[in-house]
Amino acid sequence: MKKHIALVPGDGIGVDIVGEAVKVLDRIQEKFGHEFTYSTYLAGGCAIDATGKPLPEETLKGCAESDSIILGAVGGPKWDKLPSEIRPEKALLGLRGELGLFCNLRPAIIYKQLSEACPLKPEIVGDGLDIMVVRELTGGIYFGERGRDENSAYDTMRYTVAEIERIVRKGFEIAQKRTKRMCSVDKANILNSSQLWREIVERLAPEYPDVSVSHLYVDNAAMQLIRNPRQFDVIVTGNLFGDILSDEASQITGSIGMLPSASLREDSFGMYEPIHGSAPDIAGKNIANPIATILSVGMMLRYTFGLTAEADAVEEAVSKVLDASYRTADIYSEGMKLVGTKEMGDLIAQAL
Ligand code: IPM
Ligand code: MG
């Protein structure tokens, strides 16, 4: 298979970890006989410094013309004081919005090798946790009308029927491939947009009779994630609630440096990135954990290219290296073998 991949390392450790993802892709193409080519583009703070814009046209065009995108992370204290229209985060929203990447998959998994890192009591997590947050990514309050005057400011949460239907259907389809439980999260006791959301989930449910559906208000969902996370399999929710709950879910796994994500369009074109941020304090020091980005490569092979054996191979290679006790600093515990970013990338490529 011939594929052209857009690399958008971004800022901070983004540069360190995307390099390791490429190492793994290169090994995959060798081993399975594919041909991957790459172009690298600026986005975020580095793009502001170079061009004055967080998302230069060249980046957007290059990404749109690629077969898939791998993104590192954007942002850092250097750009925090800029007005929101030209902050690094705008690059992310621009890519998501312009490319129509409405379906954001954020798995929260406890790796058995890292189970002590989970901050919850063992009796609460039992023998593990495997939650998939399905977050709507191109609508809601992030993209609604907004404004500001001297004495007030506002943002609007608007969802169309079509926007809700397509993400809820994704939630159902993903639940069908897992344990067939889907929890829809909203704030239907207060918000009109959530009432519409809930009505649509109820209306579509009979089309997926094998999936059992529940509804939770977002405040309760936040509480239940800590109280009894094992009740969840697929969580489907809007943009803002999904942003917050996916961070919460990732934290209860105890290893945010391990978690990948996918942002997909209807036709399975996608952008893949780690859940964690740009960690500017450790950038360029060869200590960041590249595994979340490497697992994002695995998701890309699976969801956009349909290369299941290759995706399985990436996940198995990561598991093997963890089994052999290699750890980057963020997941290190006593008795383990401490390695840097590049060594971790090399080890995973070798395990492949
Ligand atoms: C995320 C981030 C972004 C979001 C920010 C950086 C715009 O928090 O990907 O979750 O809120 O969507
Ligand atoms: Mg977030």
Active site residue 3: no
Q: Is 89 in the pocket of ligand 1 (CB under 6 A)?
A: yes
CA of 143, nearest ligand number:
1
Q: What's the pLDDT tens digit per position in 52-86?
A: 999 999 999 999 999 999 999 999 999 999 988 88
> Which amino acid is it at 83?
P
Q: CATH 3.40.718.10 region(s) of the chain?
A: 1-103+266-352, 119-253
Which CATH fold topology does 1-103+266-352 show? Isopropylmalate Dehydrogenase (3.40.718)
Per cent of the chain over pLDDT 70 is 100
HEC assignment per residue over the chain: CEEEEEEEEECCCHHHHHHHHHHHHHHHHHHHCCEEEEEECCCCHHHHHHHCCCCCHHHHHHHHHCCEEEEEECCCHHHCCCCHHHCCHHHHHHHHHHHCCCEEEEEEECCHHHHHHCCCCHHHHCCCCEEEEEEECCCHHHCCCEEECCCCEEECCCCCHHHHHHHHHHHHHHHHCCCCEEEEEECCCCCHHHHHHHHHHHHHHHHCCCCEEEEEEHHHHHHHHHHCHHHCCEEEECHHHHHHHHHHHHHHHCCHHHCEEEEECCCCCEEEEECCCCCHHHCCCCCCCCHHHHHHHHHHHHHCCCCHHHHHHHHHHHHHHHHCCEECHHHCCCCCEECCHHHHHHHHHHHC
Cα 180 to middle of ligand 1, angstroms: 28
Over 90: is that where the pLDDT of 127 sits?
no
- Catalytic choice (243, 272, 303, 326): 243
Ligand positioned closest to the Cα atom of 248: 2
Residue 111 annotated as catalytic: no
Task: Read off the pLDDT of residues 221-263 as tens digits, 9 standing for 90 and up.
Answer: 999 999 999 999 999 999 999 999 999 999 998 888 999 999 9
Atom of ligand 1 minimally distant from the CA of 74: 6
15 pLDDT band (50/70/90 cuts)? very high
Of the listed 26, 247, 330, 346, which one is catalytic?
Answer: 247
> Does pLDDT of 319 surpass 90?
yes
Interval 304-317 mean pLDDT: 97
pTM: 0.95
Domain over 119-253 is classified CATH 3.40.718.10: yes
For this structure, is 219 an active site residue? yes
pLDDT of residue 258: 93
Phi-psi region of 140 (alpha: psi -120 to 50; beta: other; left: phi over 0): left
Asked whether 248 lines ligand 1 (CB < 6 A), one says no
